[in-house]
Structure 1
Amino acid sequence: MGRDPRIDEAADTIVASWQEVCRFPTVAGRLDAIAAAADWIEERLAPLMDRVVRYEIPDYGPVVVGFRAGASDASLLLYNHYDVQPEGDPSRWSSPPYAAEIRDGAMYARGACDDKADVAGRLASLRLWIDEHDGRTPFGVIYLADPCEEIGSPGLGEVLAAHAAELRADACLWESYLREEDGRPAVGFGCRGSLEIELSLDILASAQHPSYSSILRSAPLELMAAISSMRTEDGRIAVAGVRDDALVPDERARRRTADITLPGPSIARDGVSPYLPGTDSQLSTRFVFEPSMSLSGFDLDDGVRQSIPASATARVRFGLVPGMRPERVVAAVRTHLAERHPDVAVSVIRALAPAYSPVQSAFGEAVVRAAGRAFGAEAVVYDVMTGAGPGALFLEHLGAPIISPTGTLRPAGNMHGYDEHGYVEDFLDHVQFTLDVFRELERSGFADTARGGA
């Protein structure tokens, strides 16, 4: 383990760049902020790349892409996104969510880790790598910044399909994810998909006085029962057919999950276990391979307090593992609810298919080696990256295997929550890690990958 001295020498500048991009409030759809951030990215890509282009997604802004050719025909695609989750109530942040304030060694901002540490950090790594080759890099690099990943990347598939010939690469380094609880690096292959649906139940013409509660149906209570019917007491999905096509781990894959550290101390309340029932081994395997279900919103028709609401609406999110198809999950949910709660209406909000990339590959081995070198510990391998993203679009249109590595985020970093933050030293290690990925691929090449097609 050792950090390139150039990173330490330029640390203030590298960190300031991270802060700069975090000051853009780039929630998907906030087009002024998206446009300003796209300009920022393009300005910093321009001196590093042969050309920089924008592919516009109507209503969401540009996919910003930089292309740099190398001495060989091989190329690495860097996937990043520059949109962020909504900041929520600013009063619940200990400093303004886009102030990018550094205190106690950490930088606090919405998007600090997800995903602006990649946006800024990979630019720094790329500059260092180019400099050590005097501008003549051994392979090509494509840097892609997505403006709307947090809402499912609408329109990105059309961009990839239309420009597949120039975007095609031998491998894709996906946006980064968590370190382990104990600080070890992690390397995730492929990514989960996601399905978010809305369940709605309208029963009464208007809210009614609570004195009728002994004779009137309750939309919120019935909707809660409908949601509960889709989940077992130990947290598994109880909808028939949902799990039929899910990837089943073999014995080697199960053994790899034994290295995973469950994120306990950093997320649990004192005296309360945060876990579903199961041993650590069972939970680690479920974390990687088990389809998941969570509630992401519940709204009442509560315009009149102390009343029986006329309706209720909920958002339910399913995490999909490779093999599962969103449309089959929707069909299974509709059948399940029609048989048990026929008045509940189901609509799809957004869907992303999962993506599978094999663990055994030259690309994977190079990333694992780079993680060990940069972070000073052997990487924990996730056969399926536990976060969701549009990876399936890249496999479908570009054919590039996907790996999501450790970056700046730790389990306690509040990704998607209030006071999202990343430690400055972790960010600088992140810059070193990406530089080491370039160096490892320079040594080992992309031997067992071949550029795919749509």
Structure 2
Amino acid sequence: MFESVTTFIDDNLDNSIEALKKLVRIPTVAAKGEGLSEAADLVEKMLQDAGLETKQHEITGGAPVVTGWKDVGAKRTLLFYDHYDVQPAEPFDLWDSPPFEPEIRNGRLWGRGVADNKGDATSRIWALKAFKETRTNLPVNIKFVLEGEEEIGSLHLPEYIEKNKDFLKADGGIWEFGGADINGIQEAWLGLKGVFFVELEVVRLSRDVHSSMACTLPSAAYRLVWALNSLKNMDSKITIDGFYDGIKPLTEVELKALEKIDLNEEKLKKEFAIDEYLNGLTGQALKEAYYGEPTCNICGITTGYQGKGSMTVLPARATVKIDFRLVEGMHPDDIHKKLRKHLDSLGFTDVKVIYFEGYPAAKTPVDHPFVKIVNAANKRTHGHDLVVHPTSPGSGPLYLFNEYVPMVSVGCSDFLGKAHSPNESISLENFRKAQHRIVTIMDEMSRW
């Protein structure tokens, strides 16, 4: 079915790759506010070229949300959520080729954003373009939502959602990421943890001074370290009072699903050069932590001199960036209050808490019929069942959508993709087959 469509995809693979390269060349680093309007215009043009009606939604103080749609009067509607922004590419010296000059090597396309999420967005748009160019009727109605702030917490997406709830209603949705695991088996992710991202700041002096004065003057660096030490114990339990209150445990259906999942413990130990996982976790306990536990992670600490050689200095200021991954039953605003109360109760009233971003967790049920639709499509295009993960340990704004559409996250990346890291890449074969899978998902949906 739809042989002319898939033939077009294969015959025009080079053209779809060039379209992806054009998008990657725009350095859409949301954290720096770079290239977002230009990319929004390009994405809108790509949707129009694929035969969709489009609109750019201007967001107060934020990047445009680009939507596309085509109503063919079908019984079912498929929605796509993607984003055109990317993570910063630093440190640049760790890249084998410039991050915003995409390059093909060894059957892979290298560049910032190819795996997260410009490759997936482009593959989905080109699957639709194949229908248009072959004059083949779409078997389902189509909707697209593409934002430009996912990598900084989708700060302004709620404004769009509040005004456009009806647009989000669909029978199924494909979320922004996905790919193959370390064994080359395709994975599906049904949920995302929430996130609470903060910066703690301590200022103890009016300026940096000679380190000999450490005998009489306070240290911002030590003050911050002492505050950090109060957040988590040696067993990696988070010690903020009430932090774990209200957490929803994994359901029986989810726990049953975990039994079928192989986390490839030994292979990943070698990959990460570790002898054991945190606290010796293994087997079912490792899985339950991976899918069901919140975290408190230090992303980076900044204070004093960080250059080569020595510099004897007593820093006036110290900061740390921390992300908390949240599970169902937790809310970032609540954790913010508890963090502030925790620090104050221990005398750290001078530690400033800067709240950058946050949102709660969300999931699609493991036994939802749309999950079966996507799996059936994957079997047709990739020849095997998906590894179905109840949720991802990462975060995203799924909570804004899950009231209106069941989402499944599958995509064109793989274990080697290195999203958020130097030398990000995708397999060109995965990019091709991901387009085929979108066609097949639409076919399966039309018979649902």
TM-score, normalization by structure 1: 0.89
> Separation in 2 of the partners of 1:357 and 1:363?
9
Partner of 2:437: 433
1:392 corresponds to 2:392: no
Amino acid in the other structure paired with 1:84: V
Equivalent of residue 66 in structure 1, options 60, 65, 68? 68
| Residue in structure 1 matched with residue 108 of structure 2 by the alignment | 106
Aligned with residue 358 of structure 2, among 347, 351, 358 = 351
Partners of 2:126 and 2:79 in 1: CA distance: 16
Relative distance call for 1:263 and 1:222 in structure 2 (3 A) is farther
The 3 A distance-change label for structure 1 pair 295 and 268 is farther
**Alpha-carbon distance in 1 for matches of 2:425, 2:138:** 33
1:265 CA displacement:
4.5
In 1, Cα distance between the equivalents of 2:27 and 2:330? 34
Displacement after TM superposition at 1:188 (Å): 1.3
1:268, distance to aligned residue in structure 2 (A): 5.2
Equivalent positions of 1:41-60 (< 5 A) are 41-60=43-62
2:292 aligns to what?
289
Query: Equivalences for 1:384-423 in 2 at 5 Å?
Result: 384-395=391-402, 399-405=404-410, 407-423=411-427
- What SS does the corresponding residue of 1:282 show, helix, strand or coil? helix
RMSD of equivalent CA atoms: 2.5
1:410 corresponds to which letter in structure 2? D
In the superposition, relative to structure 1, how do residues 117 and 267 fare at CA in structure 2: closer, same or farther (>3 Å)?
farther
Contact 1:171 1:400 in 2 (8 A): yes
3-state SS of paired residue (1:67): strand
Mark the CA change 1:375 to 1:25 in structure 2 (over 3 Å): closer, same or farther. Answer: same
Aligned mates of 1:236, 1:7 — CA distance in 2: 50
SS of match in other structure, 1:61: coil
Match of 2:93 in 1: 91
- Which amino acid is 2:292 matched to? F
Change (3 A) 1:394 1:268: same
2:322 matched residue in structure 1: 316
Deviation track 1:408-427 (CA, whole Å, cap 9, x = no partner) reads 22233211111111111121
**Worse-superposed segment, 300-309 or 220-229:** 300-309
Please give the residue correspondences for 1:209-288 in structure 2 after superposition, counting only pairs within 5 Å.
209-258=210-259, 259-262=261-264, 265=267, 272-273=274-275, 275-277=277-279, 278-288=281-291
Compared with structure 1, are the counterparts of its residues 173 and 271 closer, same or farther at alpha carbon in structure 2 (3 Å cutoff)? closer
Q: Note the alpha carbon deviations across 1:136-174, whole angstroms, 9 max, x for none.
A: 323211012111111111221111211223343233211
Is the 2:119–2:431 contact (alpha carbons within 8 Å) kept by the matching residues of 1?
A: yes
- In structure 2, the CA distance between the partners of 1:430 and 1:341, relative to structure 1 (3 Å rule), is farther
SS of structure 2 residue aligned to 1:115: helix
Percent of aligned pairs sharing the same letter: 28
**Which residue identity does 2:405 align to in structure 1?**
A
Inter-CA distance 181–340: structure 2 relative to 1 (3 Å threshold): farther
Q: Aligned in 2, Cα 1:331/1:216: closer, same or farther, shift over 3 Å?
A: same
CA distance in structure 1 between the partners assigned to 2:283 and 2:233 by the alignment: 19
Name the aligned partner's letter for residue 316 of structure 1. Answer: I
Q: Does 1:339 align with 2:345?
A: yes
Q: 1:129 to 1:443 in 2, by over 3 A?
A: farther
CA distance in 1, matches of 2:276, 2:64: 40
Alignment gaps of 5+ in structure 1: 445-454
Distance apart, 1:179 and its partner CA: 2.5
CA distance 1:308–1:401, shift in 2 (3 Å) = same
Over 3 Å counting, the alpha-carbon distance change for 1:50 and 1:309 in structure 2 is closer
**Which residue identity is paired with 1:402?**
M
In 1, Cα distance between equivalents of 2:119 and 2:266: 24
Q: How far 1:130 sits from its partner (Å)?
A: 5.3
TM-aligned CA distance change 1:426 to 1:267, over 3 Å:
farther
Paired residue for 1:26? 28
Q: Is the 8 A contact 2:168 2:401 kept in 1?
A: no
Verify: 1:195 aligned to 2:199, yes or no.
no
Aligned pairs, number: 438
Aligned AA for 1:297? Answer: G
| C-alpha distance in 2 between matches for 1:59 and 1:400 | 27
CA distance in 1, matches of 2:51, 2:115: 24
Distance 1:168 1:253, change over 3 A: closer
Amino acid at match of 1:421: S
Q: CA deviation at 1:19?
A: 1.7
Q: Provide the C-alpha distance between the structure 1 equivalents of 2:157 and 2:326, rounded to a whole number of angstroms.
A: 20
1:170 and 1:353 mapped to 2: Cα distance? 23
Contact 1:182 1:261 in 2 (8 A): no
Q: For the residues of structure 2 that align with 1:379 and 1:415, how far apart are their CA atoms?
A: 21
Q: Which runs of 5 or more residues in structure 2 are unaligned?
A: none
Q: TM-score, normalised by structure 2?
A: 0.90
Q: How does 1:91-240 map to 2 (within 5 A)?
A: 91-129=93-131, 134-240=135-241
- Would you say the 8 A contact 1:371–1:378 is kept in 2? yes
Q: 1:289 to 1:32 in 2, by over 3 A?
A: closer
The residue aligned with 2:371 is 364
Which amino acid is the alignment partner of residue 343 of structure 2? L
